[in-house]
Amino acid sequence: MTADATIHTPSHTQTHAGMPGATGLRHDWQQAEVLALFDMPLMDLLFEAQTVHRRFHDQNAVQLSQLLSIKTGGCAEDCGYCAQSAKYADAVGLKAEKLMDVETVLADARKAKAGGASRYCMGAAWTRPKDRDLDAIVDMVKGVKAEGLEACMTLGMLEPHQAERLAEAGLDYYNHNVDTSERYYKEIITTRTYEERIETLAHVRAAGINVCSGGIIGMGETREDRADMLITLANLPEHPGSVPINMLTQIKGTPLYGVDKLDHFEFVRTCAVARMMMPLAQVRLSAGREEMDEGIQALCFMAGANSIFYGEKLLTASNPEENKDLQLLDRLGMYPER
* Residues catalogued as catalytic: 75, 79, 82, 121, 152, 212, 284
- CA distances, 251 to each of 70, 83, 111 (Å): 20, 7, 28
C-beta of residue 37 within 8 angstroms of C-beta of residue 45: yes
DSSP 97: -
- CA distances, 14 to each of 7, 24, 184, 203, 291 (Å): 18, 8, 31, 23, 38
Distance between alpha carbon 80 and the CA centroid of its chain, in Å? 18
C-beta of residue 128 within 8 angstroms of C-beta of residue 98: no
Distance between alpha carbon 126 and the CA centroid of its chain, in Å? 18
| CA triple 260-302-272, angle to 5 deg | 55
Task: Give the C-alpha separation, 210 to 332, whole Å.
Answer: 30
Whether the CA torsion 108, 102, 143, 18 is positive or negative: it is positive
What 3 state SS string does 246-267 have? EECCCCCCCCCCCCCCCCHHHH
Distance between alpha carbon 39 and the CA centroid of its chain, in Å? 23
- CA distances, 185 to each of 104, 178, 220, 225, 293 (Å): 35, 9, 11, 9, 29
